[in-house]
Structure 1
Amino acid sequence: MTQPFVSGSLYRSHLWPGLRLELLEDRIQLHASMQLHTLSSAILPGGFSWANTMVNWHVPIHYHCDNPHEDLIRRCSGWGLLVEETVAFITAADLHQASVQEVEGDCFNLLACTTAGTRNAARAGVPRHTYSAYMPGTINTMLVIHGAMTESAMVNAVITATEAKAAALQDLGIMEHGTSHGATGTTTDAIAIGVSQQPMNGAVHAYAGAATTIGCAIGEAVYQSVLEAAGTPNHQS
């Protein structure tokens, strides 16, 4: 496990040349030297796209905006980023406590970076008060994979990563706020997956469930990154 931003501001992947993470004044910025095929639940752009940059922007816990999508477009432009090549999140979690995990696998390499704030921890499937507007808090995960995957495998990877996140929170004993239920996430979690789509040894991964080599690696990396980020003292931003 590693938390590179506790004492530094730059992390370079040791498995993927040209991939780096930077802690800037108000954000973590991931940059790849190539375009990545992305699938995300991030505010900008969301869904499938192509990007070479991912941004996790820190905001105050009481941040409120009627149009966070437009807010992020303005911010990205101000940071000198090409909006059409950027995936962007919003979080109130402490960026210094981000956890980075890397795995070298069977015809793939991957990196997971998670920031975790659990003040609004929740258990899916339990009735609660709901909101129509976006509110920060959030466990955000950036998962980038050097290798090739089908789009259905990318969706499968989201499922596996979500299961791993829920398992980490259960093992940490994090409870839904105000109840005795074990939390499975927070009310505003997000994930982005970026894939180089460059086959290693000609392999294209068609599945990413827990029984596959790539799915198992995704689960382990996300589990460990959530465990470390959410398990760090004073993480409840």
Structure 2
Amino acid sequence: MPRQRGELLSRHEDGATLHHLVWRLGPGWRVCSSAVLGGGLGPRDWILNAQVPGGYPRLDPDRHLAQIAAAEALTGPGAGLMTAADVTAHTVADDGGATATVTSGLGVRGWAAGPAAGTDGPLPAGTVNIVVVLPVALSDAALVNAVATATEAKVQALVDAGLDCSGTPTDAVCVAAPAPESGPGEPFAGPRSRWGARLARAVHRAVLESALRHARDAPAPDRPRTDERNLV
């Protein structure tokens, strides 16, 4: 069994020190994810969550992530995510063997079905990245269901933290589980299944901790005024 928690590492790019988390899963693991590199569902030997500068200028994030992975000697198929948030401030929660690691920047946030809107100038750090590692094999359907369950738990945590949003426009989720040795694996990962419930609680705790930190540390303009809180 690999380490359930990512390894925090650093690198230097363009005169800046940036950080990234690495999960060295090894062979025999499957990942379902929306990652920009290695997204989808299939065998993955590693997961990488890399911090990049705000206002990220490159148009080849998949190639950039592959370069970071190569520098860490990560070989074979993998999944790579990126974020402008401070990766050193990641939060981790475990529930019965389901481990969730979250990096979050909530400066740019809103509701998924909100109106289209333009922006002027650079945006503050956004992106909520969630990486979940489970100790049991899941079927294809359950892996997809696990991503949905993690997303539901994320939204619940953001609302519980008092944030009027469902996330940011660039959130990503990775769920890793061992490949089945026989049979299809656990058939369910919804929030009322054994492992889906554990996953949901772990994600909720990790996102809530991160969101509460954001609410506490955000500058005054980012906090709702009293009259806004009282609007119905």
Q: TM-score range, shorter-chain basis?
A: 0.7 to 0.9
Structure 1 residues 203 and 68, CA, compared in 2 at 3 Å: closer, same or farther? closer
Quote the residue 1:81 is aligned against. Answer: 74
C-alpha contact 2:62 2:80 (8 A) present in aligned 1:
no
- With the length of structure 1 as denominator, give the TM-score of the two structures: 0.78
The answer as to 2:8 corresponding to 1:23 is yes
**TM alignment of 1:151-190, pairs within 5 A:** 151-174=140-163, 182-190=164-172
Distance 2:5 2:202 in 1: 17
Quote the residue 2:60 is aligned against. Answer: 67
C-alpha contact 2:159 2:165 (8 A) present in aligned 1:
yes
Structure 1 residues 226 and 18, CA, compared in 2 at 3 Å: closer, same or farther? closer
**How far has the Cα of 1:235 moved from its partner?**
7.3
Task: Tell me the SS of whatever aligns to 2:6.
Answer: strand
Which structure has more relative contact order (CA 8 Å, sep 6+)? It is 1
Structure 1 residues 117 and 193, CA, compared in 2 at 3 Å: closer, same or farther? same
Task: Tell me the SS of whatever aligns to 1:39.
Answer: strand
- Which amino acid counterpart does residue 151 of structure 1 have in structure 2? D
C-alpha contact 2:2 2:24 (8 A) present in aligned 1:
no
C-alpha contact 1:20 1:32 (8 A) present in aligned 2:
no
**How far has the Cα of 1:47 moved from its partner?**
0.4
**How far has the Cα of 1:195 moved from its partner?**
0.7
Distance 1:210 1:216 in 2: 5
Which runs of no fewer than 5 residues in structure 2 stay unpaired? Answer: 11-18, 220-232
C-alpha contact 2:5 2:101 (8 A) present in aligned 1:
no
Runs ≥4 in structure 1, deviation > 6 angstroms? none
Quote the residue 1:8 is aligned against. Answer: none
- Which amino acid counterpart does residue 165 of structure 2 have in structure 1? A
**How far has the Cα of 1:71 moved from its partner?**
1.7
Of Structure 1 and Structure 2, the greater strand share is in 1
Task: Tell me the SS of whatever aligns to 1:227.
Answer: helix
**TM alignment of 1:197-208, pairs within 5 A:** 197-198=179-180, 204-208=185-189
Structure 1 residues 139 and 18, CA, compared in 2 at 3 Å: closer, same or farther? closer
C-alpha contact 1:53 1:85 (8 A) present in aligned 2:
yes
C-alpha contact 1:147 1:199 (8 A) present in aligned 2:
no
Distance 1:194 1:167 in 2: 22
Quote the residue 1:125 is aligned against. Answer: 113
**How far has the Cα of 1:21 moved from its partner?**
2.2
More divergent stretch after superposition (186-195 vs 25-34): 25-34
**TM alignment of 1:29-44, pairs within 5 A:** 29-44=22-37
Task: Tell me the SS of whatever aligns to 1:168.
Answer: helix
The answer as to 2:92 corresponding to 1:100 is yes
**How far has the Cα of 1:28 moved from its partner?**
1.0
Which runs of no fewer than 5 residues in structure 1 stay unpaired? Answer: 1-15, 175-181
Correspondence for 2:101 among 94, 113, 129: 113
Distance 2:149 2:92 in 1: 18
Distance 1:32 1:88 in 2: 13
> Which protein shows a greater Rg?
2
The percent identity for this pair of structures is 31
C-alpha contact 2:38 2:77 (8 A) present in aligned 1:
no
